[in-house]
Structures are given as C-alpha cells and as structure tokens.
Amino acid sequence: MKLYSPVFENTQTIPAIFTCDGENISPPLHWSDVPDATQSLALILEDPDAPSGVFTHWIIFDIPAIMQGLDREVPEGGHYGDQARQGMNDFNNMGYGGPCPPQGEHRYIFTLYALDTLLNLEEGITKETLLEAMEGHILEQAELTGLYAKHEENDVILEHELSIERSEEDAYDRAVHYDEKQPEADAEIPGGQKKAG
C-alpha cells in the first residue's frame, strides 16, 4: 500500500498553507494498492518531535474502502460524508490541525491503515481509543512524512498567493471522493490544549 500527496514529496517540506502559519487546511492525499479485503481505512497524523511528546494532529477513520484519497481541506467536525468520522486531536478539536512547531523543523507523519472491519466508533474519540479498536484488524499500513519549520511572514504570504491557483495534480478525479462541503459537527468540545507541535 502506498500513501502520497500531490503537494509535497515524502520527507520534503509541507507547504505553509496547510499549517498554522497559513490557512491550516488539510492537504490532499492519495493512496493505492489497498488490500482487497479492506473494509475501511483510518488515518492518523502525528508530530513525534513535539516538546511534550508525540502530538496528534488528525484522526479520521471508517473511510470507505472504495475511496482512493482525501480531498484538500477536509472540513473540521466529527462527520466526513455518510460514513467517515473524525477524532479529537491534541488541539482539543475534531478534525485536522496543521503543523505548528514552536521552534525548529519537525516531522509530521501521516499513517494510513487498511482494516478488515468497519469500526463504528463515535466521533471525537482519542487516538488511544482508535488504536485499541484497530488492534487485530490491520491488514496493511503506509506512511508519508512531511517536514515543517516556522516560515518568515513574507514566505507565507507568497505561498498563500501561489496556492490560489490549484495545480492540475491537485485537481484529481473526485468521483471516488466525498464532496468538500460536508456539514460540520455542531458541538464544540471545551478543554485545555497541549503545547502545539
């Protein structure tokens, strides 16, 4: 199984638009060679270099096996389409929270899991709950690592301007993807935050 993105190569820099320095939206992701027995997919995004330990930036699970990727800018909130759900990240939000390192360059690891079952978990779960539920059901997994360090303000502005024109690579066939305009979860989850990674 392979996991990749049209907007950054493995072990290369994640564009600032997908971070807290930019628009903090999720990047488009593609995958291929998913096992035939796959019933659903799950994705976790983590920063292993965060000062407080591994920092969870994104949890999304029960992704239909028919899907071949995630569109750019998956909406925040618990639901994504009719089936997929999002968990709680370490910013205490449901959905994607982009790279936001306090200093230095950090690694951001996207891990995709092919599962032999549909988990049917509630939205807003933690990474620990997801990992426990996936135990014994993982058919295969794939990783994509992006790098990010704080940008100078001018660099961020330039990247934002360049991002207005989406490349042909980013405009891939959406027939097997959900529409980007999905309803967000109504409830906000209060609570503190860990130091960002």
Instruction: Name the residue ranges covered by the structural domains of the chain.
Output: 2-163
Residue 189 burial by CB count (10 A; 0-12/13-18/19+): exposed, middle or buried?
exposed
Tokens of 179: 């529409």
pLDDT at site 178: 46
The stretch 54-72 carries a mean pLDDT of: 96
State the pTM of this model. Answer: 0.80
R_g (Cα) of the chain, nearest Å: 16
Handedness of CA 69, 71, 77, 79 (dihedral sign): negative
pLDDT at site 179: 44
CA within 13 Å, CB half, 76: 17
Fold classification of 2-163 is Phosphatidylethanolamine-binding Protein (3.90.280)
pLDDT exceeds cutoff 60 at 183? no
- pLDDT band for position 81 (cuts 50, 70, 90): confident
**Token pair 């305009």: residue:** 181
| Residue % of the chain over a pLDDT of 90 | 69
